[in-house]
Copies of this chain bind each other. A is one copy, B any other.
Amino acid sequence: MPAIVDKQAKRRDIVKHAADVFARSGYHESKMQDIATVADIGKGTIYEYFRTKEQLFLAVYDAWMSDYESLIRERVDACPDAMSKVDAIRDSAVEFYESRAEQAPLLLEFWAHALRTDNPAFLERITRTRTFLRDLGMNLTRELVDAGWFTEVDARAFADLEAGISDGVFLAWVLEGRSFPLDKAFTFRQSVIGLGLLAPDARALLSEKLGSKLKRGM
């Protein structure tokens, strides 16, 4: 009769502590012993749950991105209309990144690692989130076009651009030591793009407000 412990719960616990250590020290500087110590378990125990350090790294990223996807999905589903979904996505991104600011540099390391390793699971995990965001963005874009808010646009290209911009803004935020408010940057971004895509009628309605935002900057 084995001890009544939830293997999944323990696994999650390890991932949580590993995320802390990885976030603080980076992948290469984090030692398995550090993680074990922080998780208050033996070094060997980690290997009962993860075959290698690399697998643990993947699990940390996976947990992070799964949370991210869940958060957005939840928020978006609660929105009554397309325009508020746009805001919900923006807010989710900002909130999420800010709440995990310390872990942010780890993203870069993960991406870099994904591009080097032979293990295809890394790029696959990245693709999953990208696909999730792309599908979300495409549907939303089509809704906005159909509703007459947006002019005709290639939904896939636009969704990818949106995602790319988000990553770029996030990257700038991290590399500049988070010296500007992330939410302001996202709002500014939205104003520029909004103005670009708005259909003539919608533009007439909103141009004054968006124009003043352009002038204000972040």
The reply on A49 being an interface residue by CB < 8 A is no
| Alpha-carbon separation in the docked complex, A204 to B192 (Å) | 18
| Chain A 118-143 near chain B by CB (<8 Å), digits 1 or 0 | 00000100110010000000000000
Is the Cβ of A217 less than 8 Å from the Cβ of B156?
Answer: yes
How many whole Å from A56's CB to the nearest CB in chain B? 17
Give how many copies assemble into the complex.
4
| Alpha-carbon separation in the docked complex, A108 to B122 (Å) | 15
The reply on A165 being an interface residue by CB < 8 A is yes
Q: How big is the A interface, by class?
A: 35 or more
| Given A161-B188, A192-B161; A26-B214 close (CB under 8 Å) | no
How many whole Å from A180's CB to the nearest CB in chain B? 8
Contacting residue for A126 out of B163, B175, B217, CB 8 A? B175
How many whole Å from A209's CB to the nearest CB in chain B? 13
Counting chain B CB atoms within 10 Å of each CB, which of A112, A158, A174, A193 scores highest? A112
Is the Cβ of B26 less than 8 Å from the Cβ of A116?
Answer: yes
| Alpha-carbon separation in the docked complex, A164 to B105 (Å) | 16
Interface residues of A in 185-218 (CB under 8 A from B): 185, 188-189, 191-197, 211, 214-218
| Alpha-carbon separation in the docked complex, A12 to B130 (Å) | 39
Is the Cβ of B154 less than 8 Å from the Cβ of A216?
Answer: yes
Is the Cβ of A157 less than 8 Å from the Cβ of B195?
Answer: no
The reply on A95 being an interface residue by CB < 8 A is no
How many whole Å from A114's CB to the nearest CB in chain B? 7
* Chain B residues within 8 Å of A153, by CB: 214-215, 217
Can you spell out 13 A-B residue pairs with CB atoms less than 8 angstroms apart? A108-B108, A108-B109, A111-B171, A123-B177, A152-B214, A152-B215, A157-B217, A158-B217, A161-B189, A164-B172, A191-B196, A192-B197, A195-B196
| Interface residues of A, Cβ cutoff 8 Å to B | 25-26, 28-29, 105, 108-109, 111-112, 114-116, 123, 126-127, 130, 151-158, 160-161, 163-169, 171-172, 174-177, 185, 188-189, 191-197, 211, 214-218
